[in-house]
């Protein structure tokens, strides 16, 4: 499975101590260099900067793809991740930004975000969804109540 990640999901999964669920869920996660730069920026949380400085072997960094002028409304990491996902026919794009998700869907890319990863990890027995959401609430993650409810219902249907 080819999975490309934007900055947001990696950032928040690191902050809540759940980034390691990505390896058992996907094996390998690919990021463009723009995402690495965003994770390293001085304004990023110290835990995130430390994590990317010692990136795990399952995180593969690729050169940034050519700039897509149609994606100028996205930040560099989102634009590069979306473009890379399209160029290499990724099976999934991990992205939280609403505008980025909408554009990815318009381009027929399969998307999920931080909440979707947490739901999948819960179903796989890798973490407790409610505990992960509680930790996520302690960050500056903008948790959309409607989306949270949809994901919560999906999680509860699994019987776990």
Residue-wise pLDDT for 38-76, tens only, equals: 999 999 999 999 999 999 999 999 999 999 999 999 999
Domains along the chain with CATH numbers? 3-156 (3.40.50.1010)
User: Model-level pTM?
Assistant: 0.93
Q: How large is the angle between the packed helices 46-53 and 33-40, nearest 10 degrees?
A: 130
What residues contact 60, with CB distance under 8 A and at least 6 apart? 28, 29, 30, 31
Per-residue pLDDT of the chain (160 residues), as tens digits, is 999 999 999 999 999 999 999 999 999 999 999 999 999 999 999 999 999 999 999 999 999 999 999 999 999 999 999 999 999 999 999 999 999 999 999 999 999 999 999 999 999 999 999 999 999 999 999 888 888 888 888 887 765 4
Separation of alpha carbons 138 and 123, rounded Å: 23
Q: Let me know: does 55 contact 30? Beta carbons within 8 Å.
A: no
């Amino acid at each position: 499975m080819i999975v490309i990640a934007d900055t947001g999901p990696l950032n928040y999964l690191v902050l809540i101590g759940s980034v390691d669920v990505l390896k058992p869920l996907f094996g390998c996660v690919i990021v463009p260099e723009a995402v690495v730069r965003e994770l390293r920026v001085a304004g990023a949380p110290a835990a995130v900067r430390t994590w990317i400085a010692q990136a795990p072997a399952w995180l593969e960094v690729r050169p940034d793809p050519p700039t897509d002028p149609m994606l100028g409304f996205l930040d560099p990491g989102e634009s590069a991740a979306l473009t890379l996902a399209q160029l290499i026919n990724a099976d999934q794009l991990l992205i939280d930004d609403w505008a980025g998700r909408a554009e990815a869907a318009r381009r027929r890319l399969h998307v999920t975000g931080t909440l979707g990863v947490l739901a999948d990890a819960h179903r796989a027995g890798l973490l407790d969804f409610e505990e992960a959401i509680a930790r996520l609430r302690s960050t500056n993650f903008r948790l959309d109540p409607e989306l949270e409810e949809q994901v919560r219902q999906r999680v509860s249907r699994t019987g776990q």
